[in-house]
Structure 1
Amino acid sequence: MQEIRRAIEIYNQEGGKKLLIDSKDYLVRQLSVIVYVITYVASMFFEKDDSIWLFTNHARNAGFSDNGKYLYLYLNEETDERAIWLTSSKEVHDALNARGYEVYRSDSWKARYLRLKSKYIVTTTTLGLVEWAYYGGSTIIQLWHGVPLKNLNLTGHHEPVHDLKEKLLKYDFLVVNSELTEQYLKETKRYTKAIYAGYPRNDVLLKDIPNSSLGIPVETNDLLEEIGNSETIIGYFPTWRKYEVNYDNFEYDRFDEFLEENDAHFLYKPHRYMEVNIDDQYDRIHLLPAYGDIYPLLEEFDIMITDYSSIVFDYLLLDNPAIFYPFDFELYEKERGFHLDYDEFTPGPKAYDFASLLQTIEECIDEDEYGERRRDVRRKILQGKNPHACEHIYETIKSES
């Protein structure tokens, strides 16, 4: 009935020609489901190699980063497993290959073969139906990539193809860092076992990891070395919105003067889906690449500014001050909404306009009053400091699969 009502709506609004085109596309998508299911069943009879851990289905434009990167490095450095990285990026492929890691382009025939052959499939985002079709008989590990401050934003029309995939797809292991995270993901993810280990990417905040510099943009690393540690470094990590918004919510001329007066630098790290342009005329305002890994460098930031990004929860492990700049709070709450109480789980001062942001930064440089609140939120979200998340994940999976 839902699809019939949608067809009537298209006909009334855009006419019969549009309805015919959409109906053809709809039928093709439905027929493709049959192909995917047949492929999935056939893949179950393909002999799996128990030594292969295939890292795939990374977030778009993420590069070599996030939880997958650190589990991949751990398996290569600390075990005899055959960890393989699939990527659509030539830059990532060449960088890993140059260091001797096994990596293939995700659209290659070798990658298709490995999808069928691998015993362990590791992902940090929701698997698409096309990928899922290759993994019959494999152990699927969902590392995920966030903490439950904001809603998952799954509202809107879903076709039967999507709904069927959600019913068929079940992860064998889901990695979480707290009960709050598991409850959050349980609403949308089907899985057999949750592993309470913390996220692999947090290991690098608590100990040195060989080759963790892989995936860091050269520009970011060079800039931090140029600034040094004699001045205050402020990192800005905004959240991407689906609605239109002015991300450049700053008066840059005034801001640059303010930073000079306070011996500080402002490093703007956009979300990978954002397009931000800042003139290079400023001495103390710097635009970082939106892609790549920033986690090995987080300890270089003296203060973090964000709005709704869950990167701040990882930053709590360093116990440095955080400032929250939700300049569009009412609109964001309406359009996206929050899974947790925003005020309770944002342990730092709030600024809702540029003038108050400057005042808040100045106060934060002079005195940090939120240490105990940060530690309280950290206990709730991360349940302590664990520098061995990768080891815990690996040993749990090997013992139970």
Structure 2
Amino acid sequence: MQHSIFDWIKAISRKLIFMLSALMPRSENKALFGSYKEGFCDNSKYLYLHWQQTEFIRCIWISGNRDVIKQLQSQNREVYYRWSMKGIFHALTAKYYFYNSYIGDINQWLANGAQKINLWHGLPMKKIEFDINTGPMAQVFNPKGKLATCKQWLFAHQQHITPDLMLSPSELIDTLFSSAFKLDSSQLLRATNPRTDYYTLYSNKHSSMHSSKNSKQDSNQDSSKHLSQRSSQCPSEAQSLDILFGENTSSTLRTNREQAIRSGISPTISPSIILYVPSWRDSHQEGNPYAKAFDWQRLSDHLVANNQLFLLRLHPNEASLADELTSYVNIINISQFEDVYGFLKDVDQLITDYSSLFIDALPLGTPICFYRFDEQHYQQDCRDMYEYAEKLPDIAPKCTDFDELLEQLAPEAIAKQKSNAINGEQRAEQKSYKKNYQAVTELFWGKDTPNAFEALEEIIIKRRT
């Protein structure tokens, strides 16, 4: 990409502003939070919610999205527009930045001098950051030559800012994060993730999808009543379920009920939830890869016949691709949702390819299916996988075409996998499966790993004294 003289001047000026921001005094009692794509989601969201509840530290959310700001203001949460006077002031004077991807989640030009804690957004299987050596992102993190390196230092500013601290739940993640982010051991804190810890700590905050589904069975009015009751307790999470089982009631779900009756399935049985969360395909290929990877009408017919709902959540960078895929019965686009952690425990099957969401689902015993319809393309033109990923014990079926996937969506296949993961006390095959499942869970999450809230509070208190 060619840059004009004006682009170079602007990049250099911004870099100078970043350097000068280190001169500002910063308050130890103030923390800023932000998230990728200006949303209110992921690890930073749940750390923000927890500390607002406990009042451990002053928590301020920063965003460039006016709708997100209005939403949080309506919940009496402290939030400011990034380039408002207060947004700039707090960006210059807060001691702590907590973010999910890069410091630009908050303010990439005013962060120097703050303690930058990258909560990240997943435990990786595919190579990330400075470990990327193939695909279009390689030129950002590993440019060839001094001029290209200088150019990326200026124009990919936030990608080249090293965090002061990251959370790591296991020795494997220590190794991956140290390499990918160029960290030493002192910059890694042994802890789990806020987004999973939150629903362990606040078990009453779970947006129970099965409760919502059961209330749906009686009448549309009953489900709306149920969701409105939950919204007073857990507004952000209930809002997602309200969208799912509210807006889709009259079309998708009612049609499901009618067709289920015709198929001989009792409408009193709540539908199973299948969640599909693929990784971002950063090769920028033309067309919609998901349109080719599925026979969507055939999938819809299968879902109706088996009383299942298929929730489609594409990566934020590909969310628009879902629009053309959700005109089918029992297939619901949730790509616009903040995240899925409020109802992850209620998912009956998780389908992914390389997304680390499956790692978050491991402690829940969720049946998993890997659908890698473009494995060769992904590894050649997108990103390589980490070596360890190729050596993981088998914990889930791996499908490369739609027919194979459809077999794994059969209710009996899902039930068998669930039973093997939880029980594993009968046949040798079941025992082996459970052993593998537990081994992989421990590989990523370690044993008796401290929760993120306690670990972060402890280190902040130490630094204050």
Into which bin does the TM-score normalised by the smaller protein fall? 0.7 to 0.9
- Provide the C-alpha distance between the structure 1 equivalents of 2:308 and 2:111, rounded to a whole number of angstroms: 50
Structure 1 regions of 5+ residues with no counterpart?
Answer: 1-9, 11-20
Indicate conservation of the 8 Å contact 2:42/2:121, yes or no.
yes
- Provide the C-alpha distance between the structure 2 equivalents of 1:376 and 1:289, rounded to a whole number of angstroms: 31
Equivalent position to 2:331, from 264, 277, 285: 285
Residue 237 of structure 2 corresponds to residue 254 of structure 1: no
**1:219 aligned partner:** 243
**1:200 aligned partner:** 194
- Tell me the TM-score normalized by structure 2: 0.73
| Aligned 1:139-154 pairs, distance under 5 A | 139-152=115-128, 153=132, 154=137
Is the partner of 1:185 in helix, strand or coil?
Answer: helix
Most deviating of 226-235 and 101-110: 226-235
Indicate conservation of the 8 Å contact 2:91/2:111, yes or no.
yes
Residue 389 of structure 2 corresponds to residue 341 of structure 1: yes
Higher relative contact order (CA 8 A, sep 6+): 1
- Provide the C-alpha distance between the structure 2 equivalents of 1:277 and 1:287, rounded to a whole number of angstroms: 8
Indicate conservation of the 8 Å contact 1:151/1:338, yes or no.
yes
How far off is 1:346 after superposition? 6.3
Matched length? 377
**2:226 aligned partner:** none
- Measured against aligned partners, the alpha-carbon deviations of 1:296-321 in whole angstroms (never above 9, x if no partner) come to 11112111011110011001121111
Equivalent position to 1:160, from 146, 150, 156: 150
Of Structure 1 and Structure 2, the greater helix share is in 2
Change (3 A) 1:380 1:229: farther
- Measured against aligned partners, the alpha-carbon deviations of 1:56-83 in whole angstroms (never above 9, x if no partner) come to 3x2115x211000011011111134110
Is the partner of 1:140 in helix, strand or coil?
Answer: strand
**1:106 aligned partner:** 82
Equivalent position to 1:76, from 47, 52, 59: 52
Q: CA RMSD in A?
A: 3.0
**2:445 aligned partner:** 382
- The percentage of counterpart residues that share the same residue type is 25
Paired letter, 1:399: K
**2:228 aligned partner:** none
Indicate conservation of the 8 Å contact 1:321/1:371, yes or no.
no
How far off is 1:161 after superposition? 4.4
Structure 2 regions of 5+ residues with no counterpart?
Answer: 206-232, 257-267, 421-432
- Provide the C-alpha distance between the structure 1 equivalents of 2:247 and 2:438, rounded to a whole number of angstroms: 30
Residue 284 of structure 2 corresponds to residue 306 of structure 1: no
Paired letter, 2:197: D
How far off is 1:146 after superposition? 1.5
Is the partner of 1:52 in helix, strand or coil?
Answer: strand
Give the ranges of 4+ consecutive aligned residues of structure 1 lying more than 4 Å apart after TM superposition.
164-168, 209-213, 223-229, 278-281, 384-387
- Tell me the TM-score normalized by structure 1: 0.84
Is the partner of 1:276 in helix, strand or coil?
Answer: helix
**2:178 aligned partner:** 186
- Measured against aligned partners, the alpha-carbon deviations of 1:166-190 in whole angstroms (never above 9, x if no partner) come to 8983422211222222221222424
- Provide the C-alpha distance between the structure 2 equivalents of 1:331 and 1:44, rounded to a whole number of angstroms: 44
Indicate conservation of the 8 Å contact 1:303/1:322, yes or no.
yes
Most deviating of 381-390 and 163-172: 163-172
Change (3 A) 1:129 1:302: closer
Equivalent position to 1:395, from 448, 458, 462: 458
Residue 370 of structure 2 corresponds to residue 324 of structure 1: yes
- Provide the C-alpha distance between the structure 1 equivalents of 2:97 and 2:194, rounded to a whole number of angstroms: 16
- Provide the C-alpha distance between the structure 1 equivalents of 2:105 and 2:446, rounded to a whole number of angstroms: 34
Most deviating of 128-137 and 337-346: 128-137
Residue 72 of structure 2 corresponds to residue 91 of structure 1: no
